[in-house]
Structure 1
C-alpha cells in the first residue's frame, strides 16, 4: 500500500466515528467524496496484511453507506414545505 493509499484509509478511520469529514476530502486528496470512497473501496479488494479483517469490513461498510447517499446538486435544495426541489441559484437577466 502506498503512503497516499494509507492516508486515505487513515482518513476514513479517523472520521468514521463522526460520520463527517467529507468537506476535507477535496482539499486534502484532490478527489470528490464519491471518487474518494470509490477508490477506498477499490483498495479494499486487493488482499493486504496491513488491514485486519474487522477494519476492512468496517471500511467497506462506510464506503457502501457513503456511496449509497444521493449527491445533492450545489444549487438545488429540497423545500421542506413542499418536498420539491427548488433552484437556489441566481439567474442572469
Structure 2
C-alpha cells in the first residue's frame, strides 16, 4: 500500500474542507472503487487490497470528521507561544 503511487496520489489533494459554519466536513471522505474517483474527498481504492483501502478511508473519514472542526475552533491556541517560551 505505501508503495502504490496511485493510492498515495489520493492524499496529495485530499479535500477535508469545512462547511461555512466550520462545524463539520463539507463532504465526508469516502472510499470509491479503483478508477472511479471523481472528487477530491474520495479515496480511490487499490485492486486486491479493498479491505485495507476501506479501512484507511474509514480511519481518515472518522478522524477528520471529529478533529478538523475541533482544530479549526481552537486554531487561535495553536498560534500562541509554546509553554516553555512563556517563562
TM-score by length of 2: 0.38
Higher relative contact order (CA 8 A, sep 6+): 2
The structure that is helix-richer by fraction is 1
TM-score by length of 1: 0.36
